[in-house]
Amino acid sequence: MTKMPEIDRDKCDGCGLCIEVCSCHVLVLVDNVVEVKERIGCQQCSKWCTMCEMVCPVGAIQCPFDVITEE
Ligand code: SF4
Ligand code: SF4
């Protein structure tokens, strides 16, 4: 199963910062709460960049995967 960022709907305040940084455009606002639109999108970019998790000011996104960089 493809791992995707997980949204804590109770924490998300709809600021939209995660949407701005997502290069795969898989995040959307629905009723002022972020949802993952395309579950395959984050995988297609082959990055799992975790930018959404890093920019969220309230800790509403968790990326359930590890990013390993090669030297
Ligand atoms: S990990 Fe990166 S590509 Fe995936 S949803 Fe977050 S910002 Fe978008
Ligand atoms: S950055 Fe965080 S609070 Fe802002 S829309 Fe995204 S998940 Fe919600």
> What is the average per-residue pLDDT within 3-13?
92
More confident residue, 12 or 43: 12
Domain that holds residue 49: 6-62
> CATH number for the domain including 33?
3.30.70.20
d(C-alpha 19, C-alpha 44), whole Å: 17
More confident residue, 1 or 25: 25
More confident residue, 11 or 45: 11
The residue whose CA has the least distance to atom 7 of ligand 1 is: 22
Query: Is the CB–ligand 1 distance for residue 48 below 6 Å?
Result: yes
> Residue holding tokens 């995040």?
27
Cα 53 to middle of ligand 2, angstroms: 9
In eight-state DSSP terms, residue 36 is: E
pLDDT at 1: 55
Q: How many domains does the chain have?
A: 1
The residue whose CA has the least distance to atom 3 of ligand 2 is: 12
Among 30, 12, 18, 23, CA closest to 47: 23
Task: Supply the pTM of this predicted model.
Answer: 0.85
- Considering the domain boundaries, does residue 71 fall inside one? no
d(C-alpha 17, C-alpha 53), whole Å: 10
